[in-house]
Amino acid sequence: MSDSLPLSFDLDRADRPHEECGIMGIFGPVLDVARLTFFGLYTLQHRGQESAGIVTCDGQTAYIHKGMGLVSQVFNEDNLRPLKGFLAIGHNRYSTTGGSHLRNAQPYLVETIYGPLSVAHNGNLTNALELRRKLLERGVGLSSTTDTEVIIQLLAAPPEEIAKDAEPANGLDRWQARIRALMHVAEGAYSLTILTHNAIYAARDPNGLRPLCLGKMNGGLVVASESCAFSAIGATFLREVEPGEIIKLDKNGVTSIQAVPPRPRSLCVFEYVYFARPDTLMEGQTVHDVRQRLGRQLAREAPVAADIVVGVPDSAIPAAIGYSAESGIPFSEGLIKNRYIGRTFIQPDDHLRKQGAHLKYNPLSSNLQGKRVILIDDSIVRGNTSGPLVRLLREGGATEVHLRVSSPPVRHPCFMGVDMATYKELIAHKYDIEGIRQIIGADSLDYLSLSGMISAVQEAITRPDRGHCAACFSGQYPVRIPKWLFEDERDKLVFEEVWGS
């Protein structure tokens, strides 16, 4: 490892490992599971671009390789080849600035009395600090600042040590009992893939905040954050892992238990707005279809006279197509994206974010010259990208630029695993819509309403208990959020003390 661990830090103010990650898990006795996991992670690259890792197991020994960078930078034939076995889990990770270190890269791997145990995690435990303190009081040493290490250390302990009131583990195997005990004490968002010496387990928090789905392929079973990973490796989608469910993949096939009662369903609505790949299937609908409906609803709610509709590539293109279809105003390409630069939303530094918009897009003048443009974006978080985009369109010849956003104003941070910035950084927390319009320099600005977004997302979902987290828009969090997490100044101090400013 090339980076150094801070010698000490204040537990009360440990860093917040906010991340939006991609996870995989494969059971395949006749498959090259490492290679398949590599290609699955490659497809999930949009979920995390700072580190990647794979752990495999041959029934006795576990093999690991992980590193900083894109999946294609971390892996090559030479380091994939030694990853032997019939079980694999993989992870790619995005973290906030403070957590961008190799020691925080996943999957985590430890040796237990029952053989290797490895965990890949997407989400964020809101009570990680309390759980971390309990582990340290028990004498468990921790080597990183992530909640994933807390999870793996809790799983390494017998269930009665994890949850004092753990029910008897009748009929459950050792790991099912431990995962269930973990789910009794963990709060917040978690989708997990877990590797042991003879099985892959997958679990999802009782609110279903982060996605996780199950697929099958010739000779194997697979779990992944998004169904798009299945197509890449020749697997087919079977179903989503249910909130509160543990599934086990081994020689007996798929075993399922409802480990904890599900709570009101709260899949992150931002998966539809921005994160997930458009070809991913969630809740019976493709993300692309939902984004088109968001655009249609936006056109109904926020019409404006113009000549063309332009979407910010790539994530806002479906919404722009929807807006165009609903309004009758032609869709046109107006911004050309350099596809080999990462998404500006996930660049960690403010200065880089501002540069990012210029590096990332070029205006297509032949389409823009003399036109009144409706620019569709999927969201505005800090507001650093919108102003440069409006200026680019004007430089390209647009006579008017009307910005329409296919989600409501982001006014609240996310504590469930997404880097949504702090209150101080959120432009919609500091300014009203007119204030934001003036800052970004658009001729007009409007957002989709909260009710409009929810109805567009849920329109095609048939199950009666549908529900989504929209806390970054509404401030209504689906899980308990410890008060200290809201204190911006304290968050800043934590960051500076632990990681340096």
Instruction: Report the interface residues with ligand SF4, using CB under 6 A.
Output: 209, 268-270, 414, 416, 418, 420, 469-472
Q: First CA to last CA across the chain, in angstroms?
A: 22
> In 10 A of CB 116, how many CB atoms?
20
Measure the CA–CA gap between 28 and 88, rounded to whole angstroms.
Answer: 9
Q: Quote the least distance from Cβ 147 to ligand SF4, whole Å.
A: 15
Q: Quote the least distance from Cβ 471 to ligand SF4, whole Å.
A: 4
Residues 6+ apart with CB under 8 A from 423: 412, 413, 429, 486, 488
Which among 194, 238, 234, 232 has a CA at the least distance from the CA of 89?
194
Question: Helix or strand or coil: residue 15?
Answer: coil
Which among 280, 268, 287 has a CA at the least distance from the CA of 123?
268
Measure the CA–CA gap between 156 and 138, rounded to whole angstroms.
Answer: 13
User: Burial of 11 by CB count in 10 Å (0-12 exposed, 13-18 middle, 19+ buried)?
Assistant: exposed
Question: Helix or strand or coil: residue 464?
Answer: coil
Q: Quote the least distance from Cβ 412 to ligand SF4, whole Å.
A: 7
Q: Quote the least distance from Cβ 403 to ligand SF4, whole Å.
A: 21
Reply yes or no on whether 469 is catalytic: no
Q: Quote the least distance from Cβ 269 to ligand SF4, whole Å.
A: 5
Strand partners, 215: 222, 237
Q: Which is nearer to ligand SF4, 131 or 472 (CB)?
A: 472
Q: Which is nearer to ligand SF4, 210 or 353 (CB)?
A: 210
Amino acid identity, position 322 = G
Q: Which is nearer to ligand SF4, 266 or 286 (CB)?
A: 266
Query: Which secondary-structure segment (H or E) carries 40?
Result: helix 33-43
Q: Quote the least distance from Cβ 430 to ligand SF4, whole Å.
A: 18
Q: Quote the least distance from Cβ 101 to ligand SF4, whole Å.
A: 23
Query: Which secondary-structure segment (H or E) carries 445?
Result: strand 444-447
Sheet strands (E) in 206-357: 213-217, 220-224, 236-240, 245-250, 253-258, 267-268, 281-282, 285-286, 308-311, 335-337
Q: Which is nearer to ligand SF4, 259 or 453 (CB)?
A: 453
Q: Which is nearer to ligand SF4, 67 or 482 (CB)?
A: 482
Which among 496, 408, 405, 482 has a CA at the least distance from the CA of 452?
408
- Could you tell me how many helices (H) and strands (E) the chain has, helices first? 19, 23
CA torsion angle for 184, 187, 191, 197 (degrees, to 10)? -40
Q: Quote the least distance from Cβ 423 to ligand SF4, whole Å.
A: 13
Which candidate in 21, 228, 414, 469 is catalytic? 21
Angle 147-155/128-137 helices, nearest 10 degrees? 50
Question: Helix or strand or coil: residue 296?
Answer: helix
DSSP conformation class of 219: T
Q: Quote the least distance from Cβ 43 to ligand SF4, whole Å.
A: 21
- Please tell me the total number of residues recorded for the chain in this structure: 501
Report the catalytic residues.
21
